[in-house]
Amino acid sequence: MAAKIGKKTAAMIVKALASGVVPSRGAEQIAVGRRDEVSAFESDFQGVSDGDGAFRFIIGEYGSGKTFMTRLVRARAADLGFVVMNADLTPSNRLRGSNGEGIRTYRQLIASTSFKGMMEGGAAEALVQSWLVKLKSDVAEELGCKPSDVTVREMETQIRDGTSAMSHLPFYSDFLKVVVKYYVRMNGGHDVSEAMRWLNGECNSITDSKETVGVASCVKDDNWYDFLKLWAQFAVSAGYQGLVVLIDQADVLLKTAPAARNSNYETLLAMYNDVVQSHGRPIAVYVCGTVEFLEDEAKGLYCYGALKTRIEDVRFEKSRDTYSGPVIRLKRLTAEEQEALLLKILEIHQIAEEYESPITQDMVEDYLRSVASGPRPVSPRMLSRDFIGLLDVLHAFPDTDFRSLIAERKLDDDVGQTFS
C-alpha cells in the first residue's frame, strides 16, 4: 500500500494527521472500514452520469471521519471523470445571509474547482480555456482549415451549440455571453480577467457586471446555486461526467440566529428538491455535519419540518445500514479497523522519516488496548494524532521504553475544534 507513495507525500500525510487535520492528498492511503460508504458514493456517481442527481448528508460525531470521507469522495469522483468543488462553512461563509455569506461560499467553491490532473484547486479557468481550445480545434478540423483561420462568428455559433443542453437554465444567456467574451479576449491575446471575475462571482452588483462584461446579472446570496447548476452542465459540455459538490462544517449553522438558520435551511431544502426532483441534473451534493446538526429538534435540520420529512430515517432503516437514503451515518471504526489504520500510519511514518521502526503488530495491539480502556470511544482523529506522537518520540529517542510510554495512556476527548 504505502510503498507506492513517495517520501514527500508520506511526510505531508504524517504532518496533517499529527496536526489533527485530514491530508489534502493521499487520504486513500489510510482508508479503512469505509467500503460500503464508498460503494454508495460510486452508485451516486453512476446515477449522475445517467442523468439522476444525488444529494446526501454525511453524518457522524466529531472526529468520526466526515472530512476524511469528503477527501475520499473528492479523489474518487475526480478519478471517475467528474469536476469537484468543496467548501467549509464558517460564520462568514454560509449558504445564505444578509452580508454576502452565500456569495463567499460560492467563491470558495469556484476557487476549489479541481479535476483529474489538476487536484490542487483553481481549475475553473482551465476548465473553460481547455474546452474552448479543443472546440476551436474541432471546428478547424471540420472546416478543413487551420485553427487560426476559424472566425469569431463561427466560434460563437459552436459555443452556443456546445452549451445548448444548458440553455433552459437561469442565467444561461449571460453565461454564454461571458464565455464568448472570454474566448474573444483569449483569442486576441488580451486580458481575460474581467470575464473570470463574473464567472468567479466577484462582480459585486449588476452595475459592476454591466460595466465589466456587459450583462445584467451577477451572483447573489439568493441565486448562487443557479450558477452552480450552470457549471455542472458546462462540465458535461466540456467532456466530464458532471459536478460533485462537497460542503463541510455544516454545524456552523447551529450557532446562527434562528431567522438566519431557517434561511439557510430553506436554501438547503431548495437545493435538495432541485437535485432529487429534476431529471438530467448532472450534480451530486454532499453536506457534512454531526448528529446534532441533523437531529436537534430545536436547532438542527429536524427543526425544519420540510427537511425532516424528507431525510428522517424510516423505522426499517434505523437498525440497518442500507446506504440508500439521503443520510449516510458514519459508523465508528471497529477494533480491527483501528489496528489496520495504525499499521498503515506506521508504514507511512517509516517512509516519511526513512527508517525502520521497531514497532510490531503486537505492540500496536497493546497500544490500542491501552488507549481504548477509557470510558469514551476513541475517535480516528485523536487516535492517529496520538499514535504519530508516539512514533515521533520512539524515532527520536530509540532507547525509550515502549511499555512505559503506553502505560495508562489516555486520549483527550475530541471536541471538533479543528476538523470533523
pLDDT tens for 140-161 read 999 999 999 999 999 999 999 9
- 77 inside domain: yes
Q: Is the pLDDT of residue 316 over 70?
A: no
Contacts of 277 (CB under 8 A, 6+ apart): none
Instruction: Decide: 202 and 107 in contact? Cβ < 8 Å.
Output: yes
pLDDT (0 to 100) of residue 318: 53
pLDDT (0 to 100) of residue 289: 95
The 10s digit of each residue's pLDDT in 259-307 is: 999 999 999 999 999 999 988 899 999 999 999 999 999 999 999 999 9
Q: What is the mean pLDDT of residues 345-370?
A: 94
d(CA 50, CA 242): 10
Q: What is the mean pLDDT of residues 31-54?
A: 91
Q: Is the pLDDT of residue 417 over 70?
A: no
Mutual orientation of helices 124-143 and 172-187 as an angle, nearest 10°?
70
- Domain end, chosen from 282, 311, 332, is at 332
d(CA 95, CA 105): 7
Give the percent of the chain with pLDDT over 70.
94
Average pLDDT, the chain: 91
The 10s digit of each residue's pLDDT in 3-18 is: 478 999 999 999 999 9
Least confident of 12-21, 23-32, 103-112, 206-215: 23-32
- 416 inside domain: no
d(CA 231, CA 229): 5
Domain identity same for 96 and 198: yes
Residue ranges making up the domain that contains 135: 34-332
Domain identity same for 180 and 290: yes
Instruction: Decide: 328 and 59 in contact? Cβ < 8 Å.
Output: yes
Note if the pTM is more than 0.85. Answer: yes
Domain containing residue 199: CATH number: 3.40.50.300
Q: What is the mean pLDDT of residues 116-142?
A: 95
pLDDT (0 to 100) of residue 279: 82
pLDDT (0 to 100) of residue 1: 47
Q: Is the pLDDT of residue 413 over 80?
A: no
Domain identity same for 75 and 29: no
Q: What is the mean pLDDT of residues 95-109?
A: 96
Q: Is the pLDDT of residue 2 over 70?
A: no
pLDDT top residue among 5 and 314: 5
- 420 inside domain: no
- 417 inside domain: no
Q: What is the mean pLDDT of residues 303-328?
A: 78
Q: Is the pLDDT of residue 414 over 60?
A: no
Instruction: Decide: 358 and 14 in contact? Cβ < 8 Å.
Output: no
pLDDT (0 to 100) of residue 180: 97
- Domain end, chosen from 297, 332, 367, is at 332
Domain identity same for 238 and 155: yes
pLDDT (0 to 100) of residue 32: 87
Confidence of residue 315 (pLDDT cuts 50, 70, 90): very low
Q: Is the pLDDT of residue 45 over 90?
A: yes
Domain identity same for 20 and 125: no
pLDDT top residue among 20 and 342: 342
What's the number of domains the chain is made of? 2
Name the residue type at position 91. P
Domain identity same for 69 and 154: yes
- 419 inside domain: no
pLDDT (0 to 100) of residue 375: 63
Handedness of CA 324, 325, 327, 331 (dihedral sign): negative
d(CA 249, CA 60): 11
Handedness of CA 362, 364, 366, 372 (dihedral sign): negative
Q: What is the mean pLDDT of residues 346-368?
A: 95
d(CA 133, CA 282): 23
